[in-house]
C-alpha cells in the first residue's frame, strides 16, 4: 500500500510529523514503521505537548534515589536501608468505554510499574471522577469502575487503602480513573529498565500471550471521547489478576538469579515501547523475531504484535549464558517465556516476521527526550475567569436555619461517606494496613520489614483548580501534605496525574501551564520533589473539557508506625481547638456550588507561607504528644471536619461560631490552612504556649461531648443521627433510580 500523509493522519499523526519521520528515516516509512511512530509519538507516550513544562517541576531532593523519568516509577529513601517506590497513572478513556476492564487494567498496569523496579507492591490508592450520581450512565460507569478496581486488587493481593471520589457534571462523558501503587524495596536492589549495551545479550518476552486487545491504546488515550468511541473497543485491554500475581512472583524470583540486565513492563504501546525505551536507555538496538512472541490469536500481523497492549507481559534483557536460569523460573510459575531476539550495537530496532524484515527504525528517534517532537502550545486566559471575578459573596444571604443547611450538606455525594465504594475493596490483604481501627487523614501502611509507617494520600479539588489553576494546584499539593502531617508523617515526595482537556485549546493549555507552575512552587516549599507521573490530555466531550484535575499522589514516612495520629476525638471533656484562622470565605465551596448553584466563584483563601508554618506547628504538636486528634478542614468546611471527628467513638461537640465572620463561612466555608485538634485539659496550656510562640493563629472553639451536637447553644441532635445521614446518603440518593441495580452489580 502507498503510505501518504493521509495514512499518517488516520493514525493520529499530523502531516508535519509525517514529513519529519521521512527526514529521520531518510525515506518513506512502511505501514508497520508508521504504526510504531504513531504509538510512540502519541501524547500518551511522548508528552510532546507537555514536556517543556514538566521539566520545570522540582525533580531532585536529598531523599530521591531515582530522578523523575529515569525509571518506571519514583524511588525515595525512607531510612534503615529501604526505599519506597510509587507512581500514579490514568486509565480514563478505556474506563469511559469499558469501565470494568478499563479500571482493572489500570490497576494492573500501575502495579507492574512498581514490581518492574524490583519492589513488591504493598498498597493501592485511586482518584475517581464521575458525572451526576443520579444519572444512569454515571451509575453504570461507577459500578463498573469500582468492580474493576476491587476485583483486580483483591485477586492480585494488594490492599486498596485510600483514595478520593467526586461527582461533577463535567465528567459525565469522560470520567477520570487514576490509579496509584506503592511498593518497598531494599536500597541497592533496584532493577533498571535498560537493555544495557552488550551486543548479543538475549531479549526475553515473559508473561501472558499477546492478543489483539489494546491495539492502539496509546493513540486512543490521546484522542477526544465522542459518541463513536465505543467503536474503538479493541483499544481497551483485558486483564487477568491471577496471571499478574504469578508474574509478580516470577519476576521477583528472577531478580535473585542475578541474570537480569534490565526489565520493563509492556504497558502503553506494548512491544514497540518497551523495546524502544530499553534500547534508547542503553544506547543500543535490538533484533526481534516477532513470530517468536507467544500469541493468543493466529495470524497476527507484525504491526498488531508491536502495538498490542495485552496485559501481564514483560520484556527482559538477560546476560548471555544465564538463559536457563530465567527459563527455569518461568517454567516453575507456568508462564510463557520466549527468547525473541538479542541486543545489538547499531541503535536500530529491527523487527522480523518469519525471517522477513518488517520494520527498521532508530530507537532513539522514537522516544521521549530523543527524536520525538516537542511542542510549545499557545495559551490564553480563559474567558470564564472574568465571570469568576464578578462573584459577590454579599449576594448570598446567610441562611437563618443553619442546621437544615448542614443536613443538606452532609448528604452531598462529594462529602458523604463513600463506604459503598471502599467496602468493595480489600484493605487488609497482606496485613500491612495500620489505619483500619482508627481513621487518619492519610492511609497508614507498615513498610515491612521495618517498623516505619508510610502515609499515603491522593488529593485534588478540581473546582479550586478550575477557579484558579495556579492556586488550585498549590492547594492540591498543600492538602496532600496536610493530610500526611495530620497523620503524624513527614511528606517525602509526590507523583502526579495531570488530567486536562485538549492541549490545542489555548484556554485549556493556560489551565495546564498555570497548574504546573502552582504545583512546582508548592512542591519546592514543602520539599516534596516530583518523582514522576502521567499526563492525560483530551479529557473532554463535545460539551467541553473536564475541570482541570492535577491529581497529587503523595507519600510520607513515620519513623515508627505506632506514632500515627488519628482524626477521631478521644474523650468527652477534651478541648477543641481550630488551628489557623477563620475567614469570611465561601468561595468554591460545596455549600456555595451545590446548595446555592453558583458555578463561578474564586478559589478559597490560601497563602502558601501560612500553610507551611501551620504544618510545622502540627508536626511539633504531634511529636511532643500534646494533642489527641488532628483532622484538616477541607470539603464541607469546619462543620464536616467536626462531625467526621466524632463518628469513630460516637462522641459529640459543643462549639460557638466566630463572631468576626459570617456563620455560614465559619461552618461551611473551605478556606485553607486550618486543622481541628482535640486536647486534654491537662495539656491545653502547653498547646496554647507552643502556638503563641510560633505565631500561629488559633481559636478555642469548644469541647468534646458525650454524643450531642451543640452549636451556639442550639441543640442539633445526636452524632448518631448525623452519622446515619452521612453513611446512608448515597444509597438513599440512588434508591428509586437505576442506582439500586448499579449497586447490586458491585
Pick the range with the lowest mean pLDDT from 224-228, 465-469, 580-584, 649-653.
224-228
User: For the segment 402-444, what is each residue's pLDDT rounded down to a tens digit?
Assistant: 999 999 999 999 999 998 788 888 766 554 555 556 799 999 9
Give me the pLDDT at residue 235, please: 55
3-state SS class at 42: coil
Q: Which residue of the set 91, 93, 147, 151 is catalytic?
A: 91
Give me the pLDDT at residue 232, please: 47
The answer to whether the beta carbons of residues 255 and 189 sit under 8 Å apart is yes
Q: Which residues pair with 342 in a beta bridge?
A: 202, 287
Report the length, in residues, of the chain. Answer: 746
Q: Quickly state the pLDDT bin for 614 (edges 50, 70, 90).
A: very high
User: For the segment 258-284, what is each residue's pLDDT rounded down to a tens digit?
Assistant: 999 999 998 778 999 999 999 999 999
Q: Percent helix, strand, coil in the chain (nearest 5)?
A: 40, 25, 40
Give me the pLDDT at residue 420, please: 79
For 56-185+443-558, CATH number out of 3.40.50.920, 3.40.50.10310, 3.40.50.720, 3.30.1330.10 equals 3.30.1330.10
CA proximity to 363, closest of 305, 286, 292: 286
Q: Which residue of the set 44, 172, 490, 593 is catalytic?
A: 44
Q: Quickly state the pLDDT bin for 201 (edges 50, 70, 90).
A: very high
Asked if residue 718 has pLDDT above 50, the reply is yes
Asked if residue 325 has pLDDT above 50, the reply is yes
Contacts of 300 (CB under 8 A, 6+ apart): 210, 212, 308
Contacts of 260 (CB under 8 A, 6+ apart): 191, 254, 316, 317, 318, 319, 326
CA proximity to 496, closest of 48, 53, 89: 89
The residue behind cell 540486565 is: 261
Q: What is the SS3 string spanning 221-252?
A: CCCCCCCCHHHHHHHCCCCCHHHHHHHHHHHH
Query: What percent of the chain has a predicted confidence (pLDDT) above 70?
Result: 94
The fold adopted by the segment(s) 1-40+191-374 is Phosphoribosyl-aminoimidazole Synthetase; Chain A, domain 2 (3.90.650)
Q: Quickly state the pLDDT bin for 740 (edges 50, 70, 90).
A: very low
Give me the pLDDT at residue 369, please: 81
**In this structure, what DSSP letter does residue 560 have?**
S
Burial (0-12, 13-18, 19+ Cβ within 10 Å), 557:
buried
Q: What is the CATH number of domain 385-425+567-746?
A: 3.90.650.10
Three cell numbers, residue 230: 465505543
- Distance CA(461)–CA(18), nearest Å, equals 39
Three cell numbers, residue 618: 502540627
- Distance CA(374)–CA(338), nearest Å, equals 36
Pick the range with the lowest mean pLDDT from 43-47, 648-652, 660-664.
43-47
Give me the pLDDT at residue 429, please: 59
172 is catalytic: no
Residues of the chain within CATH 3.90.650.10 domain(s) are 1-40+191-374, 385-425+567-746
299 is catalytic: no
Give me the pLDDT at residue 414, please: 96
Give me the pLDDT at residue 432, please: 55
User: What is the DSSP pairing of strand 176-186 with strand 120-130?
Assistant: antiparallel
- Distance CA(483)–CA(555), nearest Å, equals 10
CA proximity to 532, closest of 586, 493, 490, 571: 493
Asked if residue 225 has pLDDT above 60, the reply is no
- Per-residue CA distances from 617 to 579, 687, 695 (Å): 9, 10, 10
Task: Give the mean pLDDT of 53-68.
Answer: 87
- Per-residue CA distances from 340 to 202, 280, 291, 437, 698 (Å): 8, 18, 8, 50, 65
Give me the pLDDT at residue 430, please: 54
User: What is the DSSP pairing of strand 708-711 with strand 530-536?
Assistant: unpaired
User: For the segment 536-562, what is each residue's pLDDT rounded down to a tens digit?
Assistant: 999 998 889 999 999 999 999 999 998
CA proximity to 516, closest of 127, 189, 54, 82: 54
Helices and strands (DSSP H and E) totals, the chain: 27, 27
Task: Give the mean pLDDT of 96-108.
Answer: 93
Three cell numbers, residue 131: 458525572
User: For the segment 666-715, what is each residue's pLDDT rounded down to a tens digit?
Assistant: 999 999 999 999 999 999 999 999 999 999 999 999 999 999 999 999 99
User: For the segment 310-319, what is each residue's pLDDT rounded down to a tens digit?
Assistant: 889 999 999 9
The answer to whether the beta carbons of residues 488 and 565 sit under 8 Å apart is yes
Contacts of 362 (CB under 8 A, 6+ apart): 24, 285, 347, 348, 349, 371
- Distance CA(681)–CA(574), nearest Å, equals 6
Give me the pLDDT at residue 311, please: 87
Give me the pLDDT at residue 491, please: 97
Phi, psi of 654 (to 5 degrees): -130, 110
CA proximity to 293, closest of 268, 275, 280: 275
Q: Quickly state the pLDDT bin for 168 (edges 50, 70, 90).
A: very high
How many Cβ atoms sit within 10 Å of the Cβ of residue 16? Answer: 11
Asked if residue 234 has pLDDT above 80, the reply is no
Q: Which residues pair with 349 in a beta bridge?
A: 286, 361
How many Cβ atoms sit within 10 Å of the Cβ of residue 694? Answer: 14
Q: Quickly state the pLDDT bin for 216 (edges 50, 70, 90).
A: low
Give me the pLDDT at residue 228, please: 47
Which DSSP string corresponds to 263-306?
EEE--TTHHHHHHHHHHHHHT-EEEEEGGGS-BSSTT--HHHHH
The residue behind cell 516470577 is: 250
Burial (0-12, 13-18, 19+ Cβ within 10 Å), 60:
exposed
The answer to whether the beta carbons of residues 214 and 234 sit under 8 Å apart is yes
Residues of the chain within CATH 3.30.1330.10 domain(s) are 56-185+443-558
Report the mean per-residue pLDDT for the chain: 92
Give me the pLDDT at residue 125, please: 96
Task: Give the mean pLDDT of 26-41.
Answer: 95
Asked if residue 744 has pLDDT above 80, the reply is no
Give me the pLDDT at residue 368, please: 84
More confident residue, 426 or 224: 426
Amino acid at each position: 500500500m502507498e503510505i501518504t500523509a493521509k495514512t499518517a493522519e488516520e493514525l493520529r499523526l499530523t502531516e508535519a510529523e509525517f514529513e519529519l519521520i521521512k527526514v529521520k528515516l531518510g525515506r518513506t516509512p512502511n505501514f508497520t514503521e508508521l504504526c510504531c511512530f504513531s504509538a510512540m509519538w502519541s501524547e500518551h507516550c511522548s508528552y510532546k505537548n507537555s514536556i517543556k513544562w514538566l521539566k520545570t517541576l522540582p525533580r531532585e531532593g536529598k531523599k530521591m534515589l531515582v530522578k523523575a523519568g529515569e525509571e518506571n516509577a519514583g524511588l525515595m529513601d525512607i531510612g534503615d536501608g529501604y526505599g519506597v517506590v510509587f507512581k500514579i497513572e490514568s486509565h480514563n478513556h478505556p474506563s469511559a468505554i469499558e469501565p470494568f476492564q478499563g479500571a482493572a487494567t489500570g490497576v494492573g498496569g500501575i502495579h507492574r510499574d512498581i514490581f518492574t523496579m524490583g519492589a513488591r507492591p504493598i498498597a493501592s490508592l485511586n482518584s475517581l471522577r464521575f458525572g451526576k450520581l443520579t444519572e444512569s450512565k454515571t451509575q453504570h460507569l461507577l459500578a463498573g469502575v469500582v468492580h474493576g478496581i476491587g476485583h483486580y486488587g483483591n485477586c492480585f493481593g494488594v490492599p486498596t487503602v485510600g483514595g478520593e471520589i467526586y461527582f461533577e457534571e463535567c465528567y459525565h462523558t469522560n470520567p477520570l480513573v487514576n490509579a496509584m501503587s506503592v511498593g518497598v524495596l531494599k536500597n541497592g536492589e533496584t532493577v533498571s529498565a535498560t537493555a544495557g549495551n552488550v551486543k548479543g545479550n538475549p531479549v526475553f518476552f515473559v508473561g501472558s500471550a499477546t492478543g489483539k486487545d489494546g491495539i492502539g491504546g496509546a493513540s486512543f488515550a490521546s484522542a477526544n471521547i465522542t459518541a463513536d468511541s465505543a467503536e474503538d473497543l479493541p483499544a481497551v485491554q483485558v486483564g487477568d489478576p491471577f496471571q499478574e500475581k504469578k508474574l509478580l512472583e516470577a519476576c521477583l524470583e528472577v531478580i535473585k538469579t542475578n541474570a537480569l540486565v534490565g526489565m520493563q513492563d509492556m504497558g502503553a504501546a506494548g512491544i514497540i515501547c518497551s523495546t524502544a525505551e530499553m534500547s534508547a536507555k542503553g544506547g543500543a538496538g535490538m533484533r526481534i523475531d516477532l513470530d517468536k512472541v507467544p500469541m493468543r490469536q493466529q495470524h497476527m500481523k507484525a504491526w498488531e504484535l508491536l502495538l498490542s497492549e495485552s496485559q501481564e507481559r514483560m520484556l527482559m534483557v538477560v546476560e548471555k549464558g544465564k538463559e536457563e536460569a530465567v527459563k527455569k523460573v518461568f517454567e516453575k510459575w507456568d508462564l510463557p517465556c520466549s527468547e525473541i531476539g538479542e541486543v545489538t550495537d547499531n541503535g536500530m530496532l529491527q523487527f522480523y516476521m518469519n525471517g522477513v524484515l518488517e520494520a527498521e527504525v532508530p530507537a532513539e528517534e522514537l522516544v521521549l527526550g530523543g527524536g520525538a517532537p516537542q511542542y510549545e502550545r499557545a495559551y490564553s486566559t480563559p474567558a470564564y475567569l472574568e465571570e469568576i471575578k464578578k462573584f459577590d459573596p454579599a449576594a448570598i444571604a446567610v441562611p437563618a436555619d443553619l442546621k437544615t443547611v448542614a443536613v443538606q450538606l452532609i448528604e452531598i455525594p462529594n462529602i458523604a461517606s463513600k463506604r459503598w465504594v471502599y467496602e468493595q475493596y480489600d484493605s487488609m490483604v497482606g496485613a500491612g494496613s495500620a489505619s483500619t481501627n482508627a481513621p487518619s487523614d492519610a492511609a497508614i501502611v507498615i513498610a515491612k520489614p521495618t517498623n516505619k509507617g508510610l502515609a499515603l494520600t491522593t488529593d485534588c479539588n478540581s473546582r479550586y483548580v478550575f477557579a484558579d489553576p495556579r492556586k488550585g494546584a498549590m492547594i492540591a499539593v498543600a492538602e496532600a501534605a496536610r493530610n500526611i502531617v495530620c497523620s503524624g508523617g513527614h511528606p517525602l515526595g509526590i507523583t502526579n496525574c495531570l488530567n486536562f482537556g485538549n492541549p490545542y485549546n489555548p484556554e485549556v493549555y493556560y489551565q495546564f501551564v498555570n497548574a504546573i507552575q502552582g504545583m512546582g512552587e508548592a512542591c519546592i516549599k514543602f520539599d516534596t520533589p516530583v518523582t514522576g507521573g502521567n499526563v492525560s490530555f483530551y479529557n473532554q466531550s463535545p460539551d467541553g473539557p473536564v475541570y482541570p484535575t492535577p491529581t497529587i499522589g503523595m507519600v510520607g514516612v513515620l519513623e515508627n508506625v505506632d506514632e500515627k495520629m488519628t482524626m477521631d476525638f478521644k474523650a468527652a471533656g477534651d478541648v477543641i481547638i481550630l488551628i489557623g484562622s477563620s475567614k469570611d470565605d465561601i468561595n468554591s465551596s460545596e455549600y456555595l456550588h451545590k446548595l446555592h448553584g453558583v458555578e463561578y466563584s474564586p478559589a478559597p483563601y490560601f497563602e502558601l507561607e501560612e500553610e507551611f508554618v501551620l504544618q510545622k506547628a502540627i508536626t511539633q504538636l504531634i511529636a511532643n504528644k500534646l494533642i489527641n486528634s488532628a483532622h484538616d478542614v477541607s470539603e464541607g468546611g469546619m462543620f464536616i471536619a467536626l462531625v467526621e471527628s466524632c463518628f469513630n467513638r460516637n462522641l459529640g461537640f459543643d462549639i460557638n461560631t466566630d463572631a468576626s465572620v459570617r456563620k455560614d463561612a465559619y461552618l461551611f466555608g473551605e478556606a485553607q490552612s486550618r486543622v481541628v485538634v482535640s486536647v486534654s485539659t491537662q495539656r491545653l496550656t502547653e498547646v496554647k504556649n507552643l502556638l503563641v510562640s510560633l505565631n500561629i493563629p488559633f481559636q478555642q472553639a469548644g469541647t468534646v461531648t458525650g454524643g450531642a451536637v451543640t452549636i451556639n447553644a442550639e441543640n442539633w441532635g445526636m452524632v448518631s443521627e448525623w452519622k446515619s445521614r452521612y453513611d446512608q446518603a448515597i444509597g438513599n440518593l440512588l434508591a428509586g433510580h437505576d442506582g439500586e441495580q448499579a449497586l447490586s452489580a458491585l
